[in-house]
Structure 1
């Protein structure tokens, strides 16, 4: 029997993925454990293996295409197996959506008629309806916008039916009903934005009296922009003429478009009025927008080309599409920098004892550690003594983590990832060194697992190997601090009131002032300095 393979969630924050490369093609035999494709997430490009055995019958997402988690990726089954039943449901849903879209402009009228009928019913009837509120569809969602309603007031709804498409801070998602009955009321119209938990709709028995829910304050006032529009209409012409005009305008402006195509059009600033859809009933789909360019943009581009010829300049550039990882790095670091109040503490360590310690330690059998391994171990022990540096900020509370998981920044071709050494304070120097080498190698080979990049409580970034003497880093939230490690420099130092040649290293601690005060950060660095300048004390 054919098995559907959907776009997997390969990281805790992944909402969509890009198929970087298919390693099999339609018709190929696939065994359980075979690598099907390389998928680019918001953190890394990872190999995705098959959990089924059979023949690859269908590819739903081509190379280079982006799709949301749980979108049809592929179908695996027996050779020549009929998979039409697995493909047709999507088509039927799209057709149903198109039929329902034709009725959307009538929803407000239906709402008013329904509300009038409700007010005339017996208020004493028992509660036989369910209130649907704006759902929280992502961990960071605070408000949502109703992109489109797929059902109208008065229509029957079954459990599992798609009620609406809701645009969140991450994606536009389908929202399904958890109840069965009639759609009695719509609280948030298309294009309107409302906070999570605001009244979205009411579903119940056909003749249910839900006026009590509205009287209790569950109905939300209309947005200001809609009120302004109504006010302007009243000023211009007679109400009847305006109503007819608005309905005609809505007919002209209405565009049938798939959610993916809508997202692409928004990103590329494409005027949908100029695009002819090739889908069912003229629906605009992704392929209609591939390579599309607005006429105005083309005209501007041509003007620019002419200007270049006239000026005979030698300037040139190349536009590189931002990867999912690049976008994620940009968003997270921006959020961290502009949310957490950063401050920085720098201190210079004498590394003479650390150099001697490392040289002697590496003479032991099966032992090979770096200076970075020593710093990781020293940080782990120091964090145990200063739990506020190992904390997380929440609006109403601060979490002091008892476990110590240290993230180690690793540069890869597409950007930066942070594999995590879990429970670093409980591991030996040799264990830490071996684990970091393994994590770094698999990070660069794109073989690291999502769970190996999660759960850090403190982060270390080391650019010393590039000759960087001192730098500052942006905190890897939800951590409260990140340590920036510079290179070891040979220079004259004052020891016992005598100037002698020595080796020093500068370390800079970036702290979140919401959780780590200046004194706390300074005390942590003082403890860290003691361990790094005398590494043998870490073994006691």
Structure 2
């Protein structure tokens, strides 16, 4: 008997996702653990593995399909000796029967069932402003100069497929809207707030927002609208930390470990949060949660957007371990290979833009965390050393604090502790 392959919940909060890419095709034999698809959640693009062994029967949801609910049947897996023709159709795909009950009395004449079910061709339905079409159909349309919105889709749910595009004339103008089918409900009008922005008549490209980018936009907007931020900045002398880093790297060279400045700053933030526990907190509507360890979320830029993999127990973890784990997490973050538990959680965040030459900035808090540390570039500046004017390597660091949970004085103590650890780095490794 065939097995239904359903849209998985790849994180505790996932309710729907985009079936970004199929890694198998109908007729392929798969074993437990084989990769079958790439699924884009609101956090990352993740690989979906086979649980059972069998042959891919029918692929029911095409790649590129958005808003696929968790639990939706996306394909079938055939047992040994079973063919796709003999396998029963998934329940989710079964068409609804027309009700046999007598239609209620109405002054309007009832629509015959045959007419209501008539499979008339219609222009491909769109999701928002996006025409439903397969990736191959889109590529062919772009090569031929065919306007997708002018075509009637013959695929599932009116999706435009390869055959629809191959027979179309290049440069075809969008067809006039077809009359609404009898009994069809009128299209809902989008609220004013949801109307697309008017794009100026300037050469441009348009890219569909990924689920990750939508989530970033939503969470940052919520953070700035609901979390009262307070910003505290300190200038920190880096000379001792840079010297200690060089000594560590010389000692660790045989092990293939090379510490970055960021690795030491992750450690410094972890230790300072334990020194000032009033900043290692999370605000809830009726509770203030104080954490007993420092798990630091580190901002990493990826092609699909910002993600924050976590260095757990940064306050007690060794510098070499932090360095190796951070390199691994950053690499897999850019390849969309992180597991949910590797980027969900964290007690505070660190964002470093010093490598871009940014001197100072104010980062947005990542709720429900209570703070984020923004790191600027280290640079040579005039500095008073032993009551005399000299030159030192100085870095500006700005803490953003949730003022509902962290008072200004407590935030100032954290910044003071962080500054002291970076300027006297032996204190963080003792």
TM-score (norm 2): 0.77
Whether the 8 Å CA contact 1:13–1:42 is kept in 2: the answer is no
| Counterpart position of 2:337 | 447
1: CA distance, partners of 2:110 / 2:415: 64
State the Cα distance separating 1:49 from its structure 2 match. Answer: 1.5
1:42 maps to 2:42? yes
Q: 1:295 to 1:389 in 2, by over 3 A?
A: farther
Find the aligned partners of 1:249 and 1:517 in 2 and give their Cα distance. Answer: 70
The match for 2:348 is 458
For each residue in 1:209-229, what CA deviation from the matched residue of structure 2 results, as whole angstroms up to 9, or x when unmatched?
A: xxxxxxxxxxxxxxxxxxxxx
Match in the other structure for 2:19: 19
Listed as ranges, the matches of 1:93-132 within 5 Å are 94-95=95-96, 99=99
Any gaps of 5 or more consecutive residues in structure 1?
107-242, 257-263, 271-276, 297-312
Q: Of 267, 275, 282, which residue of structure 1 is paired with 2:128?
A: 267
In 1, are the aligned partners of 2:78 and 2:87 still within 8 Å (CA)? no
Give runs of aligned pairs for residues 263-412 of structure 1, distance below 5 A.
267-268=128-129, 286-287=157-158, 315-365=202-252, 366=255, 367-412=257-302
1:315 Cα deviation from its structure 2 partner: 2.5
Alignment of 1:153-168 (within 5 A): none
Corresponding position: 1:531 with 2:421: yes
Displacement of 1:87 in angstroms is 2.2
**Greater percentage in helix:** 1
Q: 2:79 corresponds to which residue?
A: 78
The residue aligned with 1:498 is 388
Distance in structure 2 (CA, Å) of the matches to 1:101 and 1:61: 33
Looking at structure 1, the residues matched to 363 and 4 of structure 2 have their Cα atoms a distance apart, in angstroms, of 43
| Structure 1 counterpart SS, 2:377 | strand
Gaps of 5+ in 2: 118-124, 132-151, 165-172, 178-199
Aligned to 2:375: 485
- Report the aligned-residue RMSD: 3.4
Over 3 Å counting, the alpha-carbon distance change for 1:315 and 1:268 in structure 2 is closer
CA contact (8 A) 2:353 2:377 kept: yes
Q: State the 1:86 CA deviation.
A: 4.7
Shift of 1:518: 0.8
Counterpart position of 1:60 = 60
Cα distance change, pair 531–269 in 1 and its aligned pair in 2 (3 A): closer
Q: Distance in 2 between the 1:388 and 1:250 partners? A: 69
| Distance in 2 (alpha carbons) for counterparts of 1:341 and 1:102 | 60
For the 8 Å contact 1:354–1:535, the answer to whether it is kept is: yes
8 Å contact kept, 1:265–1:289: no
Higher relative contact order (CA 8 A, sep 6+): 2
Q: Distance in 1 between matches of 2:102 and 2:72?
A: 26
- Structure number with bigger Rg: 1
1:2, distance to aligned residue in structure 2 (A): 2.6
CA deviation digits over 1:482-518, x for unaligned, max 9?
Answer: 1111111112111122111110111111111110111
Indicate which of 90, 93, 107 corresponds to 2:92.
90
Question: Residues 406 and 460 of structure 1 are in contact (CA less than 8 Å); yes or no, is this contact kept in structure 2?
Answer: yes
Q: Tell me the SS of whatever aligns to 2:397.
A: strand
Deviation (angstroms), 1:34: 1.4
Q: How much does 1:441 deviate? A: 0.8
SS in 1 for 2:414: helix
2-structure distance, mates of 1:477, 1:355 = 32
SS at match of 1:473: coil
Secondary structure of the residue aligned to 1:507 is strand
Q: What secondary structure does 1:362 align onto?
A: helix
Equivalents in 2 of 1:407, 1:102: separation in Å?
62
Q: Distance in 2 between matches of 1:317 and 1:398?
A: 47
SS of 2:99's partner is helix
Q: Deviations over 1:213-269 (max 9, x none)?
A: xxxxxxxxxxxxxxxxxxxxxxxxxxxxxx978xx5999xxx99xxxxxxx767349
Say which SS state the counterpart of residue 426 (structure 1) adopts. Answer: coil
Shift of 1:450: 1.3
Per the TM alignment, residue 537 of structure 1 is displaced from its structure 2 partner at its CA by 1.0
Q: Is the 8 A contact 1:19 1:65 kept in 2?
A: yes
Provide the rounded CA distance (Å) in 2 between the counterparts of 1:80 and 1:285: 28
The aligned residue for residue 195 of structure 2 is none
Query: Is 1:435 the counterpart of 2:325 in the alignment?
Result: yes
Aligned twin of 1:140: none
**1: distance between equivalents of 2:424 and 2:328?**
27
Decide which moves more: 392-401 or 528-537. Answer: 392-401
> Kindly tell me: are residues 100 and 71 of structure 1, through their superposed partners in 2, closer, same or farther at Cα, counting changes over 3 Å?
farther
Q: Does 1:413 align with 2:303?
A: yes
- CA–CA distance in 1 between the matches of 2:110 and 2:401? 53
Indicate conservation of the 8 Å contact 1:57/1:79, yes or no. no
